[in-house]
Amino acid sequence: MIQAIGLTSDPRKDLPPAVDDVSFEAHAGRVTTLLGAPGAGKTTALRLMLELQQGRGLTHFRGRPLHRIAHPSREVGVLLGDVPGHPARTVRGHLRMLCAAAGVPVRRADEVLEVVGLVSLRDERLRTLSRGMDRRLGLACALLADPHTLVLDNPADGLSARESRWLYSVLRAHAVQGGTVLLTTSDPKEAARTADRVITLDQGRLVADQDAAEFSRTRLRPRVAVRTPHAARLAALLAKDARTTRRSVEIVREDGNRLSVYGSTCADIGEIAFRHDVLVHQLADEIGDMGPRAAEKAPEGEHGTGPEETGQQGPVTEGSGSSGGSPLPPSPLPSLPPPISVRPAPSPLRPLRYELRRAFSVGTAFLTGAAVLVVSALAAVVLARIGHTPQERLLAAWPREMPLPPAALGAGLLGALAFGDEFRHPALAADRGTVPRRLGLLAAKLLVSGVTAVALAVVTVGCDAEALYLVYGRELAEVPSEWLSLSASWVGLVVGCAWAGVLAAGVFRSTTAGLAAVVAVPVVVVPLVQKFLEGPGVRSAAGFPMRVREVLLMQWPFGGERYLVGVARVLAQPVGGALALSLTTLLCAYLLTTMRGRLR
């Protein structure tokens, strides 16, 4: 079950909070609906429950908050808004990526596709799906890890009546099997037909928490709203007239001086009040389908939209009206995908499989690599034509006027996309779900981006050398004598830019911020480091590699001390030192934000 206690969003500027002290429960085996007009706070309440938005309050899923659950995607299946996937990814590829993230077998993707009826569209791109197919895919994503709880924000929005019936039948089947279902809607009749319990929100406040039968009886039937300072007397007169004329009239005494009269008309009530000299301030027809404010906004004599639920009392007279809007009779429930066994411990390859599917199931990485190779080869040819560029910079296509070569910028962009794409197209609404910000996922992203950067660095130098050979001959394509140390510096620069993009995008949740952090290393950090090292109060670091050799005093196997000295030489350079400083800072920031999220 779900227990939401005191949900309150942080107010913006001088506006009241979108959700203000909302508490309710959603029990297992039942479908619970959050009902409210657009802007009532339904989506904000869900985001607070899923810890996607800052605020106060606490939500327990079967006794535990979301951040205390080891496998959130196996406890809570979420659908907020449109299907959060890359438009160029296929339907099946998207689900298989989520399978790798959740640690479930890839055959699960085909099982849920069969349940939601998308087997024939499994090779279609997400951008080509219609609204109805998009909703079906969203439900498949929510059911993928066989969660106990389903949380869906307006899942039937934009669907036809037939598609809506199918969707609600799947949710009913999940509840019948013992699961918890919580969804939002703005249609009161839909809530009455499909839910077991209806929780009504209005302007961020809870105004009613009712069973579906009570909701249909008290809030969906046509009624007459009456306001009079003599509410008790008028109620007694209306009840007496109903008994005399043998009509089924129900009078509900609400908060203050308001009455809701079911089974009568404005004309009849007005005549009774006139005959007995009862002062009436309001007399209006209503259909009770929404929160309490709508009736107050409707002019007299026109249709309002809802009663004040606070302080509602039971009927004060005999008789009962029809309970229109009752739930539909039971129909055969669709079959759900078979349950899956939860592994006792996550596989260390789970985040790596997820990252490989995320990175290479779309063409972004390949297009970026191709663009880097073309730009780098053209730049190398142009620089050779102009002259005055050292051989090592010529092979990297790195003019002195540019802060970074094309290969480093491309590697940084691919690294920034590693986290940026997830925040732009999250695999699940909760970032602790299928794409948790955990060290295993970070290690997988650093490994994949590092290997990709090394491959890009090697291929770029090869393409540049080949282009120089074809245009100018063998002289400009010769390998420098210090190729080993230059290769270490080159690979370190490209890999460092890729990792800086990964960490910055993870900290700032944006691809743009990740790429900005990569460019900021040579533009901002390097000048600061150079200024610090060249300051009058700072001793020179000259001879640092030789002192390292003297301190170690030992020969490493296979000449390993040479590589250590090479690393020290790279770090002693301004670019290498600035890059190491930036990576260290970003890694500390990432770990700080991750641990802060875990300790909340």
The enclosing domain of 156 has a CATH number of 3.40.50.300
Q: Is residue 451 part of a domain?
A: yes
479 and 566 housed in the same domain: yes
- φ/ψ of 176, rounded to 5, equals -60, -35
Residues 211 and 227 in one domain: no
For 382, the domain range is: 350-599
Q: What is the pLDDT of residues 279-299, one digit of tens each?
A: 999 998 876 544 343 333 333
Looking at the structure, tell me whether residues 234 and 142 fall in a common domain: no
State the total domains in the chain.
3
The answer to whether residues 182 and 227 belong to one domain is: no
Q: Which of 253, 274, 297 is the last residue of a domain?
A: 297
Distance of CA 215 to the CA centre of its chain: 32
Over residues 359-400, the pLDDT tens digits come to 998 889 999 999 999 999 999 999 998 888 888 888 889 888
What pLDDT is recorded for position 346?
Answer: 53
166 in the same domain as 100: yes
Q: Are residues 125 and 235 in the same domain?
A: no
Task: Kindly give the pairing relationship between strand 149-152 and strand 180-185.
Answer: parallel
- Are 237 and 192 contained in the same domain? no
pLDDT at 326 over 70: no
Residue 312: pLDDT band with limits 50, 70, 90: very low
Of 156, 180, 215, which marks where a domain is finished? 215
* Residues 498 and 441 grouped into a single domain: yes
Q: What is the mean pLDDT of the chain?
A: 80
Do 245 and 371 belong to one domain?
no
pLDDT score of 553: 42
Please provide residue 199's backbone torsions phi and psi, each rounded to the nearest 5 degrees.
Answer: -115, 120
Distance CA 383, CA 401 (A): 11
Return the structure tokens found at 357: 């599917």
Say which DSSP state 558 is in.
Answer: G
- In the prediction, which pLDDT does 324 show? 38
Q: What is the pLDDT of residue 14?
A: 78
pTM here?
0.73
Please indicate whether residue 228 or residue 343 has the higher confidence score (pLDDT): 228
- Size of the chain in residues: 600
- pLDDT exceeds cutoff 60 at 232: yes
CATH number for the domain spanning 292: value is: 3.30.70
Looking at 278, 297, 316, the residue that finishes a domain is: 297
pLDDT band at 509; cut points 50, 70, 90 = confident
Q: What is the dihedral of CA 308, 310, 316, 317, to 10 degrees?
A: 40
Q: Per the domain annotation, does 138 fall within a domain?
A: yes
| 406-424 helix and 511-520 helix, angle to the nearest 10 degrees | 150
